Chains A and B, each alone.
Chain A
Amino acid sequence: MDTVNSLLIHGANALLWLWDAIGSLLGRLWSALDAILDPILSPVLAVLNPACTVVGDVVYAVLSPVPVWFGLTVLSLLAGVVMLVAFRYVSNQEAIGRAKDDIKANLLTLKLYKDDLRVMFHAQGRLLWAILRLQRYMLTPVLVMLLPMLLGLAQMGTRYQWRPLHSGERTLIRMKLDESLEFAENGRFAADMRYAEDTTYTPVADAKPGVTLEGCAGLIVEVGPIPGGGEMVWRVRGGEPGRYQLRFHAGDDVIEKELVVGEGLRRVSATRVGSDWTTQLLHPAERRLPDRTGVESIEIVYPGVDSRVYGANWWVLSFFVISMAAALILKPVFRVRF
């Protein structure tokens, strides 16, 4: 029994080590890739995101009279159809067909020749090879569709993932600072901040440069900023309904961040991000932060939309199910193989 336990423990340890090693390897690969892609994609997204936001605003203006779930359904169906057509034209349908036929043929081989182990092992091998080929043929259309799909999903996310802050509702604002800056030594951002009654943040008396948040009608600051963990946090309450630009003063720089207070489905930008292309993809509604301000991102922790159909996180599932169903149903109509 001890031997079995020992074997199990060592086996589990080996698996964990393998898992870590794979994770580490992928992480390194990703870092290398990120270093290549960031200088290319970041400026591209800086141009694309505002354009997509305009398109998104128009689309949701059109959908505004209909119930939210209906709008999501329509968009999902349309996405399914568009992706289906795109898939047909950007993929090698003949090669996909051949790979799929090979997969089916080898699956049937397993059924027809089930008494012959040699044939079964051969069929398994060919099956795996056919699956790899199929994956390779799928890659091109996935890559082609990836960027438009992500841009679209990000736009949808700004509507379905978060809702505007209600008047009087409490939340936090987080300003993430550049970790490479040595705050204590250069004193650019003083750790010791003092809260002023007029809702303006002022640096401590020794006049070190710091961060101040200008007051506005849409926001009441309750506490903050509280530094720590490489970020500064404010506790705030929603003020009068409306769309506002919060102004943060950091030394000589003025940094803006959009705030939405009100009810219903509206475009909400939870985070204004820096130049990193991956975060730009996910938070497209605001321009990226200027370089060399020492601020990596500013986040307003909006509450999620509360719905099991189109609410926070659920909308992704709904979108996936509806768009896939549309694609599967319409596959024969558009004569697409996948």
Chain B
Amino acid sequence: MKITLSKHLLHLLFFCLIALVGVSTTSCNSKKKLAEKQAAEARAAKISQAKADLQALLANTNKSPEELERDLARIKAMNLNDPEVNALIKQVEEKIGQKKAEAAKIAEEKRKAEEAARLKAEEEARQKPAKLTLDDYFARIISAPSAAEANNYINDALKLFSSPETPVLISLGVFGGEKDYDKPTTISKYLNYLKDQKRNINTIDNIVRDASGKIKELELMRKK
């Protein structure tokens, strides 16, 4: 009798254990499903956000390729592996590629333009004669092989003066404390005089300049 009771009690305990395991398993399964559901919802939200962000990147025209790359890397790091997101990522990558190509093209054009400007400046510097002094111009006008060439030098020399009518004084010397001059002339006439006479009997004694650095009065002295 005692043995029978024990047997029954054991069976009951066994059933209770089975029931407990059953209940426990059911509860665990429902928790897992909930977690899975929450994870799926989170992923869906991430995908939605990623799509929105990617669309925004595609529509944006202000960001540089580097900024687009940085934003895209952030989205790619989420590893969403969603076909739509992947397609948008590809589009953004294509856009970045195009932008980079455009930027490279612009940079190349700019480089070429700068190079051309540099070469032009160098060529102009080579072509341009050294900056001539007034004495140089006098000498070149006198020794010019033709009137046309002398006239070119005259025109260049006149650029040093405030006007072709700039007065030119030719001092003969100082006598009794008083300075004597030849009749005053103008720079235009004086330069033509040098061209005609093919000799320079005067030296530069004094140059007066205006505020812009141009010569507004020239004083020469008769060579002794």
Q: Do A and B come from one complex?
A: no
